[in-house]
């Protein structure tokens, strides 16, 4: 007769983890989850409520996730015109950084470093007015004069010549101290606008005079500036010269348009007056804050300019049967190349400045390479248009010149908008 025997089994070590009830269902539609995404609504199963640094890392990964694609993207971007664009059009995209992500990454780096390059290359950047640098130069000169005066005063016996030198140094210290006070005065008060203007030019001529004798025309200008500055300090206004900034189209100095109502013309005129005052203050004092404001506005404006450039390409190559998004891809790749080429050229230019005294031969080499990179930009863009749109050399060259001319005007207008926007922010 068969018997049923009860046997005791040992517990196994396998542990079955039962997920928390909340994690079994989608937090959005409460449907059961079977994978990293909800099959019903598509929401990601992973919760977004994380530590702040984890969120930042995920955000950076979404924007800049370059991994191994970076090396496969940046090198052909610089050296092989239209290669990335044609690969993207052919559907071979997984090995390369997407055009928009590439542009965002390069443009952010470019505009962040632009301020530092301008600061490092301060002597070569065209500045409308650098009052702060002049103030620093005056302070340094006053310090040198005081040091020279102390040298004479510390002598045990003072000769007649030494006393004369001390008297001359006292007069120079007093004169440059007055210059310094005038340069530091409030631009918006009284005749300070004219006083600062005359003083700036006068101080520059003073420093030129220390290097050597001034030509006759500069001597005459020096004497004229002394007289004009004294009159301005006494409260007598000089006749406004042609260099003053004016935004007006009427003889009375106002701005108005016939197609606008009187009320809107008043608003336009008030805006023009405010803009004029800020421009005069910025251009006749330190232009540093204005330059920072302008650089800060350029990324947004360039991002708006990109779709307009794609429209220009669409019009110029209307028979190429390319979609608008394809023209936009060309615009993204071409601007990414331009930014990274200028960035590399500026880096080499800064390196040139550091090596110019210690390693002049190597500095010359970096200068040639930097110039070569800038020369490569128009050649690259021409080849890119030819390879993407597959037209002959003649038609490509004509269209390239037309596009370059129109786009240069667009860039100038963009720069003007950036300056106006920057002035309103100062």
If asked whether residues 217 and 309 sit together in one domain, one would say: no
C-alpha pair distances (Å), 248 with each of 242, 251, 256, 392: 14, 8, 8, 48
**Whether 221 and 181 share a structural domain:** yes
Q: Do residues 200 and 152 share a domain?
A: yes
- 47 pLDDT more than 90: no
Q: What is the CA radius of gyration of the chain?
A: 34
Tell if the pTM clears 0.85, that is, is over it: no
Among 222-226, 273-277, 323-327, top mean pLDDT goes to: 323-327
The reported pLDDT for the residue numbered 279 is: 74
Per-residue confidence (pLDDT) for residue 123, from 0 to 100: 43
Residue 128 has pLDDT above 80, yes or no: no
Query: Are residues 197 and 179 located together in one domain of the fold?
Result: yes
Nearest to 343 by CA among 134, 151, 114, 177: 114
Range 273-286 average pLDDT: 71
- Give pLDDT, residue 325: 92
| Residue 58, pLDDT score | 57
Per-residue CA distances from 384 to 13, 85, 101, 320 (Å)? 64, 9, 20, 14
Structure confidence at residue 291 (pLDDT): 76
In this prediction, what percent of the chain has a pLDDT beyond 70? Answer: 76
In a domain, 292, yes or no: yes
pLDDT digits (tens, 9 = 90+) for 327-353: 999 999 999 999 999 999 988 887 887
How does residue 242 score in pLDDT terms, banded at 50, 70 and 90? very low
Q: Which of 13-27, 28-42, 114-128, 129-143 has the highest mean pLDDT?
A: 28-42
Give the pLDDT mean for 235-246: 52
Tell me how far apart the alpha carbons of residues 382 and 403 are, in angstroms, rounded to a whole number.
11
Examine residue 10 and state whether it is found in any structural domain, yes or no: no
Q: What is the band of 373 on the pLDDT scale with cuts at 50, 70, 90?
A: very high
- Tell me how far apart the alpha carbons of residues 249 and 251 are, in angstroms, rounded to a whole number: 7
| CA separation, residue 321 to residues 89, 160, 308 (Å) | 13, 91, 18
Residues 71-96 have pLDDT tens digits of 788 899 999 999 999 999 988 888 88
The verdict on 104 and 185 lying in the same domain is no
For residues 186 and 312, state if they share a domain: no
In the chain, the number of structural domains is 3
User: What's the sign of the alpha-carbon dihedral 166, 171, 172, 178?
Assistant: positive
Indicate if the pLDDT at residue 136 is higher than 50. Answer: yes
Of 206, 223, 239, the last residue of a domain is: 239
- The verdict on 349 and 367 lying in the same domain is yes
255 falls within a domain: no
Whether 185 contacts 195, CB under 8 Å: yes
Which one, of 55, 101, 47, 92, lies nearest residue 74 by Cα?
A: 101
φ, ψ for residue 317, nearest 5 deg:
-115, 50
* Residue 90 forms part of a structural domain: no
- Domain match, 396 and 382 both: yes
Per-residue pLDDT band at 20 (split at 50, 70, 90): very low
Question: For residues 272 and 413, is the Cβ–Cβ distance under 8 A?
Answer: no
pLDDT score, position 265: 77
Q: Is residue 330 part of a domain?
A: yes
Compare 142 and 212 and report the one with higher pLDDT: 142
In a domain, 274, yes or no: no
Which of 210, 239, 268 is a domain's end point? 239
Same domain? For 121 and 143 the reply is no
Residue-number span of the structural domain to which 48 is assigned: 18-62
Residues 291 and 412 occupy one common structural domain: yes
Whether pLDDT at 131 is above 90 = no
Q: How confident is the model at residue 16 (pLDDT cuts 50, 70, 90)?
A: very low
Statement: residue 153 has pLDDT above 70: yes
Per-residue pLDDT at 286: 60
Is 375 part of any domain?
A: yes
Q: What pLDDT is attached to residue 11?
A: 47
The pLDDT of residue 44 is: 76
Q: Give the pLDDT of residue 211.
A: 80
Residues 325, 231: one domain?
Answer: no
Burial call 60-85: b when 16+ CB within 10 Å, e when fewer: eeeebebeebeebbbeebbeebbbbb
Statement: residue 187 has pLDDT above 90 = no
Q: Which residue has the tokens 């005063």?
A: 153
The confidence band for 126, taking pLDDT boundaries of 50, 70 and 90, is very low
Give the rounded distance of the alpha carbon of 207 from its chain centre. 32
Q: Over the stretch 415-425, which tens digit does the pLDDT of each residue have?
A: 888 888 877 76
Per residue in 156-185, pLDDT (tens digit) is: 666 777 777 788 888 888 888 888 887 777
Lowest mean per-residue pLDDT among 21-30, 95-104, 208-217 = 21-30
Looking at 9, 37, 62, the residue that finishes a domain is 62
Average pLDDT in the chain = 78
Residues 208 and 323 in one domain: no
């Amino acid at each position: 007769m068969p018997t049923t025997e009860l046997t005791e089994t040992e517990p196994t070590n396998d542990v079955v983890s039962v997920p928390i009830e909340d994690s079994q269902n989608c937090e959005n539609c409460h449907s059961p989850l079977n994978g990293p995404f909800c099959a019903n609504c598509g929401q990601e199963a992973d919760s977004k409520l994380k530590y702040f640094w984890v969120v930042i890392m995920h955000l950076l990964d979404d924007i800049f996730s370059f991994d191994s694609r970076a090396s496969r993207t940046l090198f052909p971007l610089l050296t092989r015109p239209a290669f990335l664009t044609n690969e993207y059009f052919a559907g071979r995209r997984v090995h390369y950084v997407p055009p928009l992500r590439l542009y965002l990454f390069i443009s952010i780096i470019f505009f962040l470093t632009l301020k530092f390059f301008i600061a490092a290359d301060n002597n070569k950047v065209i500045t409308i007015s650098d009052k702060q640098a002049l103030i620093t130069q005056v302070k340094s000169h006053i310090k040198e004069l005081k040091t020279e005066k102390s040298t004479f005063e510390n002598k045990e016996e003072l000769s007649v010549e030494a006393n004369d030198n001390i008297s001359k140094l006292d007069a120079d210290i007093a004169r440059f101290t007055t210059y310094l006070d005038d340069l530091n005065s409030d631009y918006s008060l009284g005749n300070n606008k004219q006083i600062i203007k005359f003083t700036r030019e006068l101080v520059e001529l003073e420093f030129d005079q220390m290097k050597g004798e001034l030509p006759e025309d500069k001597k005459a200008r020096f004497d004229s500036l002394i007289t004009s500055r004294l009159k301005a300090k006494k409260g007598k206004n000089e006749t406004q010269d042609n260099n003053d900034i004016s935004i007006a189209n009427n003889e009375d100095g106002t701005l108005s348009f016939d197609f606008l109502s009187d009320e809107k013309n008043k608003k336009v005129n008030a805006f023009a007056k405010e803009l004029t005052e800020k421009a005069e203050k910025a251009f006749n004092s330190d232009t540093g804050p204005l330059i920072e404001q302008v650089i800060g506005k350029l990324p947004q404006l360039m991002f708006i300019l990109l779709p307009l450039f794609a429209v220009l390409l669409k019009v110029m190559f209307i028979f190429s049967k390319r979609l608008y998004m394809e023209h936009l891809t060309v615009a993204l790749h071409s601007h990414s190349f331009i930014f990274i080429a200028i960035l590399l050229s500026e880096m080499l230019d800064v390196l040139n400045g550091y090596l110019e005294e210690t390693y002049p031969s190597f500095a010359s080499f970096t200068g040639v390479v930097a110039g070569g990179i800038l020369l490569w930009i128009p050649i690259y863009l021409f080849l890119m248009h030819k390879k993407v749109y597959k037209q002959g050399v003649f038609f490509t060259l004509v269209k390239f010149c037309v596009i370059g001319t129109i786009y240069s005007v667009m860039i100038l207008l963009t720069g003007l908008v950036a300056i106006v926007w920057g002035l309103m922010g100062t």
